Amino acid sequence: MRRMAGSRRPIFYDTETTGVKPTRDRIVELAAYDPERDRTYCSFINPESSIPAEASAISGITDEMVRDAPLFREIGPAFIEFCEGDVILVAHNNDAFDRLFLDAEYGRIGMKVPPNWKWVDTLKWSRKYRPDLPRHSLQSLREVYGVTANQAHRALDDVKVLHQVFSQMVDDLDWETILSLLDESAQGGARMPFGKYQGRPLLEVPKDYVVWLAQKGILGEHEALQKQFLELGVIS
């Protein structure tokens, strides 16, 4: 990956949480890597609640490990300081998970995510530009690109793997191009190929209609279209 003169600086990051619902669950670990400055950030976070056993089984993080950790009200400002300047926050499944958790945590302490931050979701990139792959999880991509195994589902380890994987995926593309290509997808450049909304940009197709197509099995017959609606977050 190249960085054009005067362009934004990438920050790869990851969260470990008590569950999958940002409005209810909490972040228990936050890690980031700034490859241009060769700096890392990593901290446990006391979620002010017990960590469910199923979450601990995935991340390996227990109540005892976070009991004396700082609260997010202490971590939040420190993380913003780490991400100073014009940055791009890069995470795997960023748009549907990590970014939502950051938004929720900052909201709880009366703060907002800095409006100048840009975002890249490497899961969306993988689904869009590597449709030949059967799976797009970070660990599956790690195997595809021959990146050394890590301690999966621990934040800093996943961040470093993500940096290596995504660097290979985009090769020498600069960050402005990466942002532009993802933005084109988000703006719904593709159009509905059939039905009552034929010819309309995908983002203009009512969500209830897309859900109806999925429930009737019609969407499943059009794999490429189904992937596009997944990338746009219209269905999950």
Active-site residue numbers? Answer: 153
Question: Please, what sign has the CA dihedral across residues 146, 148, 149, 153?
Answer: negative
Please check whether residue 48 is in contact with residue 36, taking contact to mean a CB–CB distance below 8 angstroms: no
The pairing of strands 118-121 and 87-91 is parallel
The pairing of strands 27-34 and 9-17 is antiparallel
Please check whether residue 7 is in contact with residue 175, taking contact to mean a CB–CB distance below 8 angstroms: yes
How crowded is residue 146: how many other Cβ atoms within 10 Å of its Cβ? 9
List, in order, residues 6 or more apart from 79 with CB less than 8 Å away: 30, 32, 41
